[in-house]
């Protein structure tokens, strides 16, 4: 059973869902908190479904177009959902959620994490943005 006391992480996730988070606050850390909240609440499969919809809707609400060159990115989102799911499986997920978020960000919050496993040129293609592409290197975290 996962802890459902999310405080800051839940507040950020709800503001994304409600499209009320100021665009300037949609940082890499906020993305990670929102992803973690979704995985803890819904499990990885449903989290991915909801994140696709919710991030795309949020982007549109703040004027970020979801195109071949901007906005929602399927491969990066799916990659992080997988990393978050592995993390959740490896820790006591009944701990306070903001503690989990702090640990996750400390361990996996490097903005270039995906570049360890994907060639950047491939990762930034329209194909990778719109659908899943397999990593170029084995993912070992």
Pairwise CA distance, residues 18 & 76, whole Å: 22
* Residues whose CB falls within 8 Å of the CB of residue 108, separated by 6 or more in sequence, listed in order: 32, 83, 87, 141
pLDDT (tens digit per residue) in 7-39? 899 999 999 999 999 999 999 999 999 999 999
The answer to whether 84 touches 104, Cβ cutoff 8 Å, is yes
pLDDT of 68 > 70? The answer is: yes
Concatenate the DSSP letters of all residues of the chain into one string: ------THHHHHHHHHHTT-S-GGG--HHHHHHHHHHHHHHH-HHHHHHHHHHHHHHHHHHTT---SSSSS--HHHHHHHHHHHHHHHHHS-TTS-HHHHHHHHHHHH--TTGGGGTS-HHHHTSHHHHHS----SS----
Residue 66 has pLDDT above 50, yes or no: yes
pTM of the model: 0.93
| Contacts of residue 56, Cβ cutoff 8 Å, sequence gap at least 6 | 66, 71, 72
Secondary structure in 3-state letters for 89-104? HHCCCCCCHHHHHHHH
pLDDT of residue 24: 98
């Amino acid at each position: 059973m996962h802890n459902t006391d999310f405080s800051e992480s839940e507040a950020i996730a709800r503001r994304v869902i409600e499209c009320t988070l100021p665009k300037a606050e949609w940082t890499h850390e906020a993305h990670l908190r929102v992803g973690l909240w979704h995985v803890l609440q819904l499990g990885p499969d449903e989290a991915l479904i909801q994140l696709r919809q919710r991030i795309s809707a949020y982007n549109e609400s703040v004027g970020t177009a979801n195109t071949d060159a901007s906005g929602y990115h399927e491969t990066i989102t799916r990659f992080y959902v997988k990393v978050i799911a592995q993390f959740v499986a490896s820790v006591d997920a009944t701990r306070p959620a903001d503690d989990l978020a702090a640990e996750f960000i400390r361990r996996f919050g490097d903005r270039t994490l995906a570049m360890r496993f994907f060639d950047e040129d491939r990762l930034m293609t329209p194909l990778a943005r719109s659908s899943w592409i397999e990593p170029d290197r084995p993912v070992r975290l």
